[in-house]
Amino acid sequence: MASLVPPQAPPSWALSADQITSEMSKLIDESKKVHDQVAAIESPTFDNVLATMADFSNEKTGLLNQLTFYQHISASKDIRDSSSKAEEAYRNFDIEASLREDLYKVVNTVYNSKPKLDAESTRLLEKSNLDFVRNGLALPADEREKLKGLQKTLSNLEVQYGKNLGEETGFILFTSEELAGVPEDVVSQFEVVDGKFKMTYKYPDLFPVMKYASDPETRRRAFVGDQNKVMENTDLLIQAIKVRAEIANILGYKTHAAYVLEDRMAKSPETVMNFLNDLRDKLSVGGQTEIRKLLALKKQDESERGIPSEEGVFNVWDFRYFDRLLLEREYEVDDQKISEYFPMQSTIEKMLQIFSILFCLKFIEITGHERSVWHEDCKQFAVWKKDPAETSDSFVGWLYFDLHPREGKYGHAANFNLAPGYTDRDGNRVYPVTALVCNFSKPSAKKPSLLKHDEVVTFFHELGHGIHDLVSVTKYARFHGTNVARDFVEAPSQMLEYWCWQPNELKFLSSHYIESKPIDDELIRKIVRSKHVNGALSNLRQLHFALFDMTLHTSEGDIDVTKEWNVMRQDISLMQQGNETTYGYGSFGHLMGGYDAGYYGYLWSQVFAADIFYSEFLDEPMNTTNGLRYRDTVLKPGGSKEEMDDLRLLLGRDPNNKAFLEELGVSD
């Protein structure tokens, strides 16, 4: 182990707020200089235009990603603010650059010359030319100028929305009586204010309250509070919908969705809407059956508690509670008991072992003074690989874990590419840096951090994105790792979630935090049997998000966003919300973070995920030969090839939805 010295140092995390500002200013100035130099070339070629810009992008994308990453993870508000402003400045510069007619002319000249290039360079040329066309460079000058103003407005709206969401500090104070049923180890971590317990809207606080609080009024307050926690964002999204529609119109597209989907696997809004509505039809029947079962359980529970029950009414804030109760009573699945078998530290170690076997990787944690991290909670790994035919280990890249909530930190679970891999002009490999940012409960004085099964699945999913980043090998940073079509990007991680539902792999991952014994077979059987309990309702919830997104972005901007959010939720999810009007779209970060007209991708890519797992891994999940073939066929190319071509090569046929429908238990 000691002999494995990474050939590339990890990033440094010592920048101050002022340094972030100055580094971004310097980066923008250098970018302008390169663009000016390229735009002035009188005899444009791939080498002096595209390769020059690609070399600069290769070298500087890591710095750009790092400067804008600070806003999500720094403990300093000044640094977070500086990072957010730096991102806004770069976005505005990028809009200017994307609308430069002189840059378009030299790129388009090279494109029209049809040079003979390697496949990835050809793809870079085609994509670069298409970017300019989609940015309106074929338009008259006055319309281009209007477009530039609108794109800057949209960029600023998106940055501010994300900043507001990241800085959200809302909470509700509950009495101990109001929190009846919530596990003591959860409540004990709540701050006490004026004799009451402070529940923030961070997941480790909110979800246990929604799942365990026996008082329906507590659940209602928690749900509505969370939905309405960033009210200042509601108007930002409403403005963004209008601006996006106007931009699409100027560019000659009927709607924003038509513009976005042209460059995705789905290609058109009609394809997406047909997919979503077909799935809704198939899931609604099962959803009605599941609602009836939950209603019966609700009636029984409220009768036992002496709580007045509203006949035939199942509210959205009751779902997590009665879903958990059903799992406990009928399936004997106890989240708290199961979590005892998944202490975070040993679970992480065993997850990494699974990836070691599947993809021939080696993860070496960096500790002590050699560590280079942005917060003391972070873990840092040097990642290596050694395939069966290789005689020595080869470096893959750097991996970070930032796993616990803190004030000002990104509030969900996500993977961030901090620096893409690429091949420099001398043929040398520059290695990627990637980070998992999650919000799992911190250890207490009595217990280590324990992962509920759904958190194990979440961790595996996000780590899947990280692995995609690490094992990808592309010539250009633009195509590295998860830089694939947005409606395919989730498929590799969704596919890896299946390992969390396989009996042998579950047993391997588990180790009781006191007794160190693996989870017993009977408990595993119960977990596996529960996989699709209320699965129709869970997927209908996803359909609400996806159809809401598509409804907004197939409009011309003149749409009552609040009405659509609330009416569609009740119609699609099959659950009521009383007389409450909620504004959850103010914290629906996907719609302002790159998933606009793209949320359907979570369901769309599940089709590919199920097909890959059933075809390649169902019979033997830990088959290294299949793992390496999948790694090199699907993950390694990143976005340097058409994703459908990679899938056909892996499967030996066109992908289909048979496994997906079988997994959900609905008929084709």
For residue 26, give every residue at least 6 positions away whose Cβ sits within 8 Å of its Cβ, in sequence order, or none: none
Residue 211 and residue 239 share a domain: no
Q: Which residue has the tokens 């989609």?
A: 134
pLDDT tens column, 42-95: 999 999 999 999 999 999 999 999 999 999 999 999 999 999 999 999 999 999
Sheet containing 171-174, strands listed edge to edge, beginning at the edge strand earlier in sequence = 171-174, 196-200, 191-193
pLDDT tens column, 134-186: 999 989 999 999 999 999 999 999 999 999 998 999 999 999 999 999 999 89
> What whole-number distance in Å separates Cα of residue 12 and Cα of residue 1?
23
Residue 668 and residue 546 share a domain: yes
Q: Sign of dihedral through CA atoms 495, 496, 500, 504? A: positive
pLDDT tens column, 91-123: 999 999 999 999 999 999 999 999 999 999 999
Q: Which of 414, 465, 466 is nearest to 437 (CA)?
A: 414
Residue 453 and residue 470 share a domain: yes
Q: What is the percent of the chain where pLDDT is above 70?
A: 99
Q: Which residue has the tokens 């406990």?
A: 328
Q: Is residue 436 part of a domain?
A: yes
> What whole-number distance in Å separates Cα of residue 452 and Cα of residue 341?
9
> What whole-number distance in Å separates Cα of residue 489 and Cα of residue 665?
24
365: which strand partners? Answer: 381
269-277, long-range: CB within 8 Å, 24+ apart, which pairs? 269/550, 269/554, 269/597, 272/550, 272/600, 272/604, 273/550, 273/554, 275/600, 275/603, 275/604, 276/543, 276/546, 276/547, 276/550, 276/600, 276/603
Q: What is the percent of the chain where pLDDT is above 90?
A: 93
Q: Name the amino acid, one letter, at 448.
A: P
Q: Is residue 3 part of a domain?
A: no
CATH code (residue 31)? 1.20.1050.40
Q: Which two tokens stand for residue 158?
A: 């998106």
Catalytic entry in 120, 178, 290, 462? 462
Query: Residue 492 — pLDDT band, cuts 50, 70, 90?
Result: very high
Query: Residue 667 — pLDDT band, cuts 50, 70, 90?
Result: low
> What average pLDDT does range 641-668 have in this prediction?
90
Strands 433-437 and 394-402: parallel
> What whole-number distance in Å separates Cα of residue 419 and Cα of residue 65?
7
> What average pLDDT does range 237-252 have in this prediction?
97
1 has a pLDDT exceeding 60: no
Work out the widest C-alpha separation in the chain, in whole angstroms. 83
Q: Is residue 420 part of a domain?
A: yes
pLDDT at 275: 93
Per the prediction, the chain carries an average pLDDT of 95
Query: Residue 668 — pLDDT band, cuts 50, 70, 90?
Result: low
Q: Which two tokens stand for residue 396?
A: 């893959």
Host domain of residue 221: 171-227
Domain boundary pick from 531, 561, 595: 531
Q: Is residue 11 part of a domain?
A: no
Residue 357 and residue 501 share a domain: yes
168 belongs to the catalytic site: no
**Phi/psi of residue 475, nearest 5 degrees:** -75, -40
- Which range is least confidently modeled, 2-6, 20-24, 430-434? 2-6
Using CA atoms, how far residue 290 sits from 326, 530, 537, 545, 665, in Å, is 11, 13, 7, 20, 13
Residue 350 and residue 318 share a domain: no
pLDDT tens column, 312-326: 999 999 999 999 999
Using CA atoms, how far residue 236 sits from 230, 451, 592, 593, 602, in Å, is 11, 35, 9, 13, 24
Q: Is residue 7 part of a domain?
A: no
Q: Alpha helix (H) ranges present in 554-623?
A: 561-573, 601-616
391 has a pLDDT exceeding 90: no
Between 634 and 445, name the one with better pLDDT: 634
Q: Which of 605, 533, 116, 560 is nearest to 293 (CA)?
A: 533
> What average pLDDT does range 495-517 have in this prediction?
97
Q: Sign of dihedral through CA atoms 386, 389, 390, 395? A: negative
Three-class DSSP labels, 510-561: CCCCCCCCCCCHHHHHHHHHCCCCCHHHHHHHHHHHHHHHHHHHCCCCCCCH
Strands 429-430 and 422-423: antiparallel
Domain boundary pick from 489, 516, 531: 531
Q: Alpha helix (H) ranges present in 135-231?
A: 141-166, 184-187, 203-212, 216-227
> What whole-number distance in Å separates Cα of residue 70 and Cα of residue 60?
16
CATH code (residue 593)? 1.10.1370.10
Write down the number of H helices and E strands in the chain: 25, 10
> What average pLDDT does range 496-516 have in this prediction?
97
Residue 527 and residue 552 share a domain: no
CATH code (residue 378)? 3.40.390.10
Domain boundary pick from 531, 553, 570: 531
pLDDT at 194: 96
- Taking the CA of residue 350 as centre, how many other CA atoms within 13 Å lie in the half-sphere pointing to its CB? 19
Q: Which of 94, 38, 61 is nearest to 476 (CA)?
A: 61
Q: Name the amino acid, one letter, at 50.
A: L
Residue 601 burial (C-beta neighbours within 10 Å; 0-12, 13-18, 19+) = buried
Residue 611 and residue 521 share a domain: no
pLDDT tens column, 423-448: 999 999 999 999 999 999 999 888 99
Q: Which of 168, 12, 17 is nearest to 79 (CA)?
A: 17
Q: Which two tokens stand for residue 609?
A: 């995920």
Q: Is residue 607 part of a domain?
A: yes
Residue 552 and residue 457 share a domain: no
Q: Is residue 395 part of a domain?
A: yes
Residue 362 and residue 480 share a domain: yes
**Phi/psi of residue 436, nearest 5 degrees:** -100, 125
Residue 539 and residue 527 share a domain: no
Q: Give me the DSSP letters along 231-254.
A: THHHHHHHHHHHHHHHHHHHTT-S
Q: Is residue 147 part of a domain?
A: no
> What whole-number distance in Å separates Cα of residue 69 and Cα of residue 616?
36
pLDDT at 33: 98
Residue 505 and residue 361 share a domain: yes
pLDDT at 661: 86
> What whole-number distance in Å separates Cα of residue 540 and Cα of residue 574?
8
Residue 451 and residue 398 share a domain: yes
**Overall domain count for the chain:** 4
pLDDT tens column, 311-368: 899 999 999 999 999 999 999 999 899 999 999 999 999 999 999 999 999 999 999 9
436: which strand partners? Answer: 401, 415
